[in-house]
């Protein structure tokens, strides 16, 4: 039976792809893209009609295929995406700034919005226009510097909780080592009593870095975002835990890598009516339904709590959900600017997943770099210890302030360098909202017919890849060591002339403009506090000296993999030693 179903599925796919090719003028159009002004731009020859140039992109590290094409075709060119859809790509900073500064002209691509809505609903990442403005306005107070300072206490509590867990594991390892030494040294031979045992080396334990970083980030965003305690750090592996957490993990895994059928359903509208639903997508739909049900219960309970609480500013809840609900019931907010309960509900999976993925992925790569580069780790630790020499200051009720953490220049450099070299999202996809859309350029480009222009024209629906990984790894911007992890570049003035148009100066990792990441201050604070706590207390190494950590480029979010052990999935095996 399974063979018959497989054959039928393959047969349906062939039929649908064929229909799409034949009837493409009725969908995105076969003739229309051929008449697009983008066809006049230079660019690489596609692999074939279905895959376009995607195979070249997937066979290289993120952004590297594009850098190769830039050498051949210049800063601005067009390549073919799936089903040979035109995709504009440019490293011209004037063009990039123009695109992200005009969100009503360059809108989120339709396939991107469909994919996001399936994973998180219609929250801030999905929204555009007036809805996006209303959602963002309601959320701004939650991500103000003052509120992030307050919420940083949540980050500290979870970072210190993780430290205590690892110290407990190290104590167990130390006790086991001491017990073994006692047995070995206590044996008395015929020639006389045993000699005194040599001092034991510092105890070490092996931990799975991604697993613990994920637990930490989920716990933090649960409390800071919605006042919801997952207590994931305290749960045992494989233990049945929080229902909302389980649903979020399912959604997160479903977005790791899309099946071929899911890809077809994303790009070809008629394919969405197929009677077959990919297993991961089916699980994601059920998980999102669970998120919405539990989220609705959270919203109802929080409304009641807020109604019962007084107006004392110091006593108000500071999490995102509480800010959203207070904005909705405030008489000072016009009705036209308030969110519906449905809008508020959409923010729960949006921010739990977006807030978790960004930080967990960025932290995983940062720790991987520090574990493989002891000199950088030692220099970071020296800065931390010099600024805060008394380890007793690092307690649940006593720790450095938000401003003190941000005053550490090398820590700032380490975080920015990790965000530069390993952005969570490799690119952002946009589409022209109107025919005859013009993008200005800072330098001339030569078209296929030999003519020279200083602008690019697009038809409605033409796709644009706003580069993140490519721009942040471009040797023309960052120098010959662009692919090296070097925090010093953020301290010696080298980055001051780059001018990338992001919400963080010279970083595109959080994008920019009206759709720039609203939670970037919180994400950076979370990374810094985690690293401060980890490096202050432990020496971190890769589990084996010969271990190489690499990443795959055939997924949207790139997490660490152990070279030669891809079948084991995303991993970051660490050896942790107490200091």
More confident residue, 263 or 426: 426
pLDDT (tens digit per residue) in 405-423 = 999 999 999 999 999 999 9
More confident residue, 331 or 134: 134
C-alpha of 201 from chain center: 38
The predicted structure's pLDDT at residue 251: 79
Mean pLDDT estimate for the chain: 85
pLDDT (tens digit per residue) in 148-172 = 999 999 999 999 999 999 999 998 8
φ, ψ for residue 426, nearest 5 deg: -80, -30
User: Residue 439: helix, strand or coil by DSSP?
Assistant: strand
The predicted structure's pLDDT at residue 391: 67
The CA distance from 575 to 301, in Å, is 43
**Is the pLDDT at 23 greater than 80, yes or no?**
no
**Is the pLDDT at 554 greater than 60, yes or no?**
no
The CA distance from 561 to 547, in Å, is 10
DSSP-derived pairing of the beta strands 204-208 and 573-578: antiparallel
The CA distance from 345 to 342, in Å, is 5
pLDDT (tens digit per residue) in 221-250 = 999 999 999 999 998 765 656 888 888 888
- Token readout for 325 is 């609900």
- Token readout for 1 is 């039976």
The CA distance from 392 to 406, in Å, is 20
Nearest to 501 by CA among 474, 455, 525, 467: 467
Spell out the long-range contacts of 554-559 with Cβ–Cβ below 8 A and sequence spacing 24 or more. Answer: 554/58, 554/257, 555/256, 555/257, 556/255, 556/256, 556/425, 556/426, 557/255, 557/256, 557/357, 557/361, 557/424, 557/425, 558/62, 558/361, 558/422, 558/424, 558/426, 559/210, 559/361, 559/364
Maximum average pLDDT range among 47-51, 113-117, 218-222, 257-261: 218-222
The CA distance from 384 to 367, in Å, is 16
The predicted structure's pLDDT at residue 174: 81
The CA distance from 535 to 519, in Å, is 24
Task: Report whether 291 belongs to an annotated binding site.
Answer: no
For residue 63, count other CB atoms closer than 10 A to its CB: 22
Which pTM does this prediction carry? 0.87
Cβ contact 245:223 at 8 Å: no
Q: What is the DSSP letter of 123?
A: S
φ, ψ for residue 47, nearest 5 deg: -65, -50
The predicted structure's pLDDT at residue 197: 46
The predicted structure's pLDDT at residue 572: 96
For residue 70, count other CB atoms closer than 10 A to its CB: 19
The predicted structure's pLDDT at residue 256: 59
**Is the pLDDT at 353 greater than 50, yes or no?**
yes
For helices 320-329 and 341-372, give the axis angle rounded to 10 degrees: 160
User: Residue 272: helix, strand or coil by DSSP?
Assistant: helix
C-alpha of 483 from chain center: 19
The predicted structure's pLDDT at residue 398: 78
- Token readout for 506 is 């010279």
**Is the pLDDT at 340 greater than 80, yes or no?**
yes
More confident residue, 577 or 200: 577
With tokens 């979870």, the residue in question is: 158
Name residues whose C-beta falls within 8 Å of residue 394's C-beta, 6 or more positions apart in sequence. Answer: 160, 388, 400, 533, 536, 537
pLDDT band for position 308 (50/70/90)? confident
pLDDT (tens digit per residue) in 428-443 = 999 999 999 999 999 9
Q: What percentage of the chain reaches a pLDDT higher than 70? A: 83
The CA distance from 304 to 66, in Å, is 52
With tokens 């949207």, the residue in question is: 556
pLDDT band for position 213 (50/70/90)? very high
**Is the pLDDT at 561 greater than 70, yes or no?**
yes
Stretch 366-375: mean pLDDT: 97
Look at the chain and count its residues: 579
Stretch 174-198: mean pLDDT: 52
Q: What dihedral do alpha carbons 101, 105, 110, 114 form, nearest 10°?
A: 50
Q: What percentage of the chain reaches a pLDDT higher than 90? A: 54
Q: Which residues of 195-220 are buried (b: 16+ CB within 10 A; e: fewer)?
A: eeeeeeeebbbebebbebbbbbbbbb
Stretch 89-111: mean pLDDT: 95
Stretch 81-98: mean pLDDT: 92
Among 193-207, 239-253, 384-398, the minimum mean pLDDT is found in 193-207
pLDDT (tens digit per residue) in 458-512 = 999 999 999 999 999 999 999 999 999 999 999 988 888 888 999 998 999 999 9
The predicted structure's pLDDT at residue 280: 65
The predicted structure's pLDDT at residue 366: 98
Nearest to 88 by CA among 392, 447, 467, 388: 467
User: Residue 461: helix, strand or coil by DSSP?
Assistant: coil
Cβ contact 418:377 at 8 Å: no
């Amino acid at each position: 039976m399974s063979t018959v179903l497989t054959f039928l599925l393959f047969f349906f796919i062939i039929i649908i792809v064929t229909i799409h090719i034949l009837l493409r003028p009725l969908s995105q159009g076969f003739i229309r893209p051929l008449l697009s002004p983008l066809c006049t731009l230079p660019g690489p020859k596609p692999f074939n009609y279905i895959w376009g140039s995607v195979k070249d992109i997937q066979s290289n590290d993120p952004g590297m295929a594009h850098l190769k094409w830039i050498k051949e075709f210049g800063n601005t060119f067009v390549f073919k995406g799936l089903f040979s859809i035109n995709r504009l790509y440019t490293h011209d900073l004037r063009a990039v700034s123009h695109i992200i500064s005009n969100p009503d002209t360059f809108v989120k691509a339709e396939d991107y919005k469909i994919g996001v809505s399936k994973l998180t609903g219609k929250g801030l990442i999905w929204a555009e226009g007036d809805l996006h403005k209303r959602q963002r306005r309601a959320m701004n107070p939650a991500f103000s510097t003052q509120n992030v300072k307050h919420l940083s206490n949540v980050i500290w509590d979870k970072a210190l909780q993780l430290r205590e867990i690892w110290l407990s594991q190290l104590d167990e390892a130390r006790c086991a080592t001491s017990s073994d030494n006692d047995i070995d040294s206590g044996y008395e031979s015929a020639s006389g009593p045993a000699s005194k045992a040599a001092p034991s080396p510092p105890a070490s334990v092996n931990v799975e870095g991604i697993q613990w970083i994920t637990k930490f980030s989920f716990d933090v965003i649960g409390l800071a975002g919605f006042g919801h305690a997952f207590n994931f750090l305290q749960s045992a592996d494989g233990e049945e835990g929080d229902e909302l957490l389980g649903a979020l993990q399912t959604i997160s895994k479903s977005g790791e890598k899309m099946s071929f059928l899911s890809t077809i359903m994303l790009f070809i509208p008629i394919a969405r009516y197929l009677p077959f639903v990919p297993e991961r997508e089916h699980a994601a739909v059920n998980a999102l339904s669970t998120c919405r049900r539990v989220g609705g219960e959270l919203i109802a309970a929080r409304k009641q709590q807020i109604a019962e609480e007084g107006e004392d500013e110091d006593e108000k809840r500071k999490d995102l959900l509480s800010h959203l609900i207070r904005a909705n019931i405030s008489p000072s907010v016009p009705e036209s600017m308030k969110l519906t309960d449905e809008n508020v509900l959409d923010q729960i999976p949006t921010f739990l997943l977006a807030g978790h993925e960004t930080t967990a992925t960025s932290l995983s790569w940062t720790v991987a770099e520090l574990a493989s580069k002891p000199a950088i780790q030692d220099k970071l630790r020296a800065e931390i210890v010099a600024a805060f020499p008394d380890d007793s200051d690092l307690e649940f009720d006593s720790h450095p302030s938000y401003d003190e953490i941000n005053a550490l220049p090398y820590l700032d450099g380490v975080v920015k360098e990790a965000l530069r070299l390993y952005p969570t999202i490799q690119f952002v996809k946009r589409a022209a909202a109107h025919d005859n859309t013009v993008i200005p350029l800072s330098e001339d480009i030569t078209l296929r017919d030999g003519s020279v222009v200083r602008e690019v024209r697009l038809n409605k629906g033409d796709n644009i890849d706003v580069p993140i990984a490519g721009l942040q790894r471009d040797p023309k911007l960052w120098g010959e060591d662009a692919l090296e992890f070097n925090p010093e570049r953020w301290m010696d003035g080298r980055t001051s002339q780059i001018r990338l148009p992001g919400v963080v100066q010279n970083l595109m990792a959080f994008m920019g403009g009206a759709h720039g990441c609203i939670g970037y201050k919180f994400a950076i604070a979370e990374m810094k506090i985690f690293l401060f706590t980890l490096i202050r207390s432990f020496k971190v190494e890769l589990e084996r000296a010969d271990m190489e950590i690499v990443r795959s480029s055939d997924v949207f979010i790139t997490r660490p993999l152990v070279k030669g052990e891809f079948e084991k999935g995303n991993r970051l095996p660490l050896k942790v030693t107490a200091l």
